[in-house]
Structure 1
Amino acid sequence: MNGVSITRHGDETAGEYHAHIEGTEAIGRLTWVKRGNARVAEHTLVPREIGGRGVAAQLVDALVADAREHGFTIVPQCSYVEKKFDQNPDWADLRA
């Protein structure tokens, strides 16, 4: 989506992905904690004022892209992340 940028925050043990949308101060977040070689996706939070724009999906896509690039797996503890994994069987190799 145009106007959305994803930034990464945190360290090796825990962090967040933030989705910033041009023209608003609202920030979408996906939080995670490290467990072994996996990242546990805990929560996906998108404020109402930026909802309905695919922000949550872009946050999950960023997590998945990082898993592929950096070699970690994902525990989809968050119900939204679990749903996205169910919809994308090609991600099965990334599920912890």
Structure 2
Amino acid sequence: MTEFRDVRDEQRFEQGFTDSEGQLRTVFADYAVQGSVRVIQHVEADPALRGSGAAGQFMQALAEHARAEKLKLQPRCSYAVAWLKRHREFDDIVA
């Protein structure tokens, strides 16, 4: 697993995870900026990572990043909406 990062020039959060064959693959979230709110438009895991829990780990890192940076998340992607609804401990970062 690589460190979570905010690629601001591309308006994308991303993190790398190792798949079952040892290859580094990416989970990412595209976002739009509205002041201190990040509108999460799309979350996607590389197909080789699907079912591995990588997307959930990524969302955990994203939520922790938002809290540390005093950002709010406004999920538009169905996966992000569902993940945040299941993890009420992050209600404070939801816009």
User: Deviation string for 1:4-40 (max 9, x for gaps)?
Assistant: 2243142278222132316214322222221121111
**Residue 77 of structure 1, CA deviation:** 0.9
Structure 1 residue runs without a partner (length 5+): none
1:42: which partner in 2? 41
2:62: which partner in 1? 63
1:82 aligns with 2:86: no
1:72: which partner in 2? 71
4+ long deviations beyond 4 Å? none
1:91: which partner in 2? 90
Superposed CA RMSD in Å reads 2.0
2:16: which partner in 1? 19
Query: Structure 2: which amino acid aligns with 1:94?
Result: I
Aligned length: 93
TM-score by length of 1: 0.82
**Residue 60 of structure 1, CA deviation:** 0.8
Identity %: 22
Query: Structure 1: which amino acid aligns with 2:5?
Result: R
1:31: which partner in 2? 30
TM-score by length of 2: 0.82
User: Deviation string for 1:42-63 (max 9, x for gaps)?
Assistant: 1111122221111111111111
* CA pair 71-9 structure 1, distance change in 2 beyond 3 A: closer
Distance of 1:48 and 1:71 partners within structure 2? 31
Structure 2 residue runs without a partner (length 5+): none
